[in-house]
Structure 1
């Protein structure tokens, strides 16, 4: 029996080599959450690219395959790429996807045109003015065939139009993905999220105490293999934070984004959040409270602010 090899790298993710159709590995792999990738012609663990190896899933899969008589080896590379390399890879893959979807949309549009022309031709063969079928006449069978052909081709044209429209929407959505990923608000939100994750990892590393009502939970500093894993994750998150902070700095310098805060925004001002202008009720340290038109106010982080008008304006 061919030896199966589970490979992992930060760039490619977790893949399985050596399987063949009908060898009995598919039910086992599906049970452990693996999927078949047609474009890469291999089994893979979803969401494993650009991430640390999911050792618990890899070990469980290897054990499950060995229990069924397969010989399994693992080749795990824990080297982490920089955030700049990861983002470059994502952009390249997304651009390839955009191109493929655009080509599919063009192909579907052409197929829809052909189907509409075929339907028009079938309807043109019908007697003018909706002439009824002449029962018993020599033209009866031909007339029925023409009606059936017109009905069938019309249905095909409607389906082709729907498929073309769906393909066009998918292509347009994919084309916007990169733009949205690097727009000011998502970038600012990502920086905030990375900062929170770094603080969490640092607490895990140094140890911390969590108080919840009368309960007091003490977590000791990370040790051994767990400490090494935390340190690796911490380095990765700090690199990502530096990368996105650089993107944010460029956006601020070019005027694409504005850094709002309690220094600029005051009570009585108007701010634009989610496409709507709201009156500021209170400018907090990290969030702004705005009127909703009801008896309550709403809070939003300053990164959600899309525009600002001082009260005097």
Structure 2
């Protein structure tokens, strides 16, 4: 019997499948992936999110149509707070960094061992680059030594490349959390979450299309039904917005981020963006327009302003 479960922490997972039972083709067709570390199929990007009901029901229907027996769906719609989600992500990333560091160390040790083996093989070659004596009793031994040195060099190069790639992945993983909490990234995330909230709020009060009369205002009953439908998602988004706004406030308070806005920037001021000082041509609600050497201006979000000098200065 197959069991599909969903929790906010683990995401959407199916248990009970077996290799060669035919379930893999159905799950792949419905965009599930195999998780080697968890030993089960899962829905990508379902962890720390509300369940994707359309994917779950479609998959369940396809499995039942193929003759599989399914247990009742176990869907937990309880959401963890954004603070809990972020703490778990940071912990998982730290574990991943440790694992990749250990892998890089192993690969580096393998590369060193492979190089030492190559040096030993080279030492067995005749001194002075002596050519092969064709027909001599030493020909076979000489050719074998050359092949061993050649093969060990190839293995050494491959091991060195593997070690460099492992080190690169470990370094990239170590920077992931810092990149996620980059001040500009945080500001952009706040803007996106706010836009998503406003989009759902518009959908709740949106007009309804009538085939005879065209668009008409939604009734209170329709609005209430939509509000109930979008309530879980809106609750999740509002919690995320509160969390990231606090993160940004802390970054501004500690000097890790600037808090410039149209209230603090004026036309004619100089601002530093991406390491370059430019003159402000216009201040907008969310961006600042700056002069360029050409006939047009460039725009940048206020979060990208690194420093500021008033025009008077």
- Pair in the same fold by TM > 0.5: yes
Which position in structure 1 is the counterpart of 2:50?
A: 52
Q: Is the 8 A contact 1:207 1:220 kept in 2?
A: no
Structure 1 residue 200 and structure 2 residue 199: aligned?
Answer: yes
Q: Residue 305 and residue 220 in structure 1: after superposition, are their counterparts in 2 closer, same or farther (change >3 A)?
A: farther
Match of 1:43 among 33, 36, 41: 41
Once residues 300 and 251 of structure 1 are traced to their aligned partners in structure 2, the CA distance between those partners, rounded to angstroms, is 20
TM-superposition CA deviations, 1:112-158 (whole Å, max 9, x none): 11111111111122122222111111211111011101110111111
Which position in structure 1 is the counterpart of 2:188?
A: 189
Deviation at 1:206, TM superposition (A): 2.4
Aligned length: 307
Deviation at 1:226, TM superposition (A): 4.3
Which position in structure 2 is the counterpart of 1:212?
A: none
Consecutive unaligned residues in structure 1, runs of 5 or more: 210-214
- Helix, strand or coil at the partner of 1:33: coil
Once residues 247 and 66 of structure 2 are traced to their aligned partners in structure 1, the CA distance between those partners, rounded to angstroms, is 50
Which position in structure 1 is the counterpart of 2:211?
A: none
Once residues 139 and 111 of structure 1 are traced to their aligned partners in structure 2, the CA distance between those partners, rounded to angstroms, is 32
Structure 1 residue 233 and structure 2 residue 233: aligned?
Answer: yes
- Helix, strand or coil at the partner of 1:278: strand
Which position in structure 1 is the counterpart of 2:175?
A: 176
Q: Residue 269 and residue 58 in structure 1: after superposition, are their counterparts in 2 closer, same or farther (change >3 A)?
A: same
Once residues 272 and 248 of structure 1 are traced to their aligned partners in structure 2, the CA distance between those partners, rounded to angstroms, is 20
Q: Residue 11 and residue 290 in structure 1: after superposition, are their counterparts in 2 closer, same or farther (change >3 A)?
A: same
The Cα RMSD (Å) is 2.1
Deviation at 1:100, TM superposition (A): 0.8
TM-superposition CA deviations, 1:142-188 (whole Å, max 9, x none): 11011101110111111111111111011011001111111211111
1:1-313 equivalent positions in 2, closer than 5 A: 3-73=1-71, 74-207=73-206, 223=223, 226-311=226-311
- Helix, strand or coil at the partner of 2:127: coil
Consecutive unaligned residues in structure 2, runs of 5 or more: 209-213
TM-score, normalisation: structure 2:
0.91
Q: Is the 8 A contact 1:261 1:286 kept in 2?
A: yes
